[in-house]
Structure 1
């Protein structure tokens, strides 16, 4: 295998490994955000129920009700006006962004990202993706959360740093290099663009006729000398087959059965008198 193909293979598998880790960390962020939001709602409900009691046995709830606590006990909800609303809204936005980033990593639907989120589409690199992931990880790590959310956000921020570095190095070529469709096309031996690469014969560009493994050679205005290269004989055919190219026979223009004219009709026309 040539050195260039080895580098392409390593880059393909390396970038897809980073993409798999990115999707995994986003799923962990999604799950931890749901769990944290559920725990916050339970803590707020318990806080409201405890604040309505007038007994002096629960002094902590009374102190938090008086505004002496910065956060509601056992939650990430700040003890301030509309604190529960903004805490839940923050988690919902994180969940929504995690879903968008997962779809962006999967690459579906591509027209949606091209129209509404171009920086996450296939025409941009991994830098914007890494910046958004870093913002989400920092937003979670800036609060006192449980261990599950802490680990998920830490891994997300680490993957964000890797994506930002890859975006700076590879720029817009990163998503094209990790494309699975392009890799499958290359493994099947699909011919390159005739405008940029020559076919098996000099001066002849390959054109496809439906099957990616077969081609028909058509002259494109270059040298039509049959003696150039291997020519169109048996040696040229062997050389093309050795490279994985197969010359397809042209399809017949007429069907296998062509109705013949009747002799009686032709003779009657010949014997009929003129006007």
Structure 2
């Protein structure tokens, strides 16, 4: 639990660093493009460059557009991965992005992180962006390893809610997939049979043949005590042999 959450914390930090560094690169690219357009009429040597000086923007038709789109996609991906790491909203990911939901492991998350970092590292960037991308790539490789190790149980093992539930010992740690059996008999049917079979006690003297409250004492000690309280003497029947038995 602690190890997986430590990796989770480092993953969140790396995503925040990549998010901020991508915004910084996008601002730097826009400034470099503006400077390039301002000096374009004064110098013809800049037209032969593959990239605009001081940026990651290619010197080609619509190069600025695709550079900005790439930066926006990286920002969008980091936001989505950040939300999946904090498990909010988990129902949204379970329905629309199942690979980032609670039923999948950390392998897909690590693959996405490596793709983002390699996209950034494939360009000439500043030191801050370079370190952030390297950090994200290392965390992505670690998440892929943990995904292979724990598989789909990784997110359940690092879940804070399940850890609290196990600490309290109230909620079960796993879902019971067995079918639930319910009583198919309607309630009114059972009530009718219950009422029909219920004994009807009538007001009568104790010890009569209609009284069932104290029946079943027999000829033992309890029967003698109950008879004595009523003023009767309980005698045992005389021992006799059956008619078909020959007397000794």
Q: Does 1:41 align with 2:21?
A: no
From 155, 163, 186, the equivalent of 2:135 is: 155
Moved >4 Å (runs of 4+): 193-196
Q: What residue is the counterpart of 2:125 in the other structure?
A: 145
Q: Does 1:77 align with 2:66?
A: no
Q: What residue is the counterpart of 1:64 in the other structure?
A: 46
Displacement after TM superposition at 1:52 (Å): 2.6
Count of matched residue pairs: 176
CA contact (8 A) 2:162 2:173 kept: no
Counterparts of 1:84 and 1:111, CA distance in 2: 37
CA contact (8 A) 1:71 1:77 kept: yes
CA contact (8 A) 1:33 1:91 kept: yes
Aligned pairs for 1:1-275 within 5 A:
12-53=1-42, 61-65=43-47, 68-190=48-170, 192=172
Displacement after TM superposition at 1:195 (Å): 9.6
Q: What residue is the counterpart of 1:211 in the other structure?
A: none
CA contact (8 A) 1:64 1:79 kept: no
Per the alignment, do residues 194 and 127 of structure 1 end up closer, same or farther by CA in structure 2, a change over 3 Å counting? closer
TM-score relative to the length of structure 2: 0.69
Unaligned segments of structure 2, at least 5 residues: 177-248
Which has the larger Rg? Answer: 2
Displacement after TM superposition at 1:20 (Å): 0.3
CA contact (8 A) 1:122 1:175 kept: yes
Counterparts of 1:62 and 1:176, CA distance in 2: 60
RMSD: 1.6
Displacement after TM superposition at 1:32 (Å): 0.1
CA contact (8 A) 1:104 1:113 kept: yes
Displacement after TM superposition at 1:131 (Å): 0.3
Deviations 1:54-97 (A, max 9, x none): xxxxxxx52122xx111100000011111111001000000000
Counterparts of 1:86 and 1:188, CA distance in 2: 53
Unaligned segments of structure 1, at least 5 residues: 1-11, 54-60, 197-275
Counterparts of 1:178 and 1:193, CA distance in 2: 13
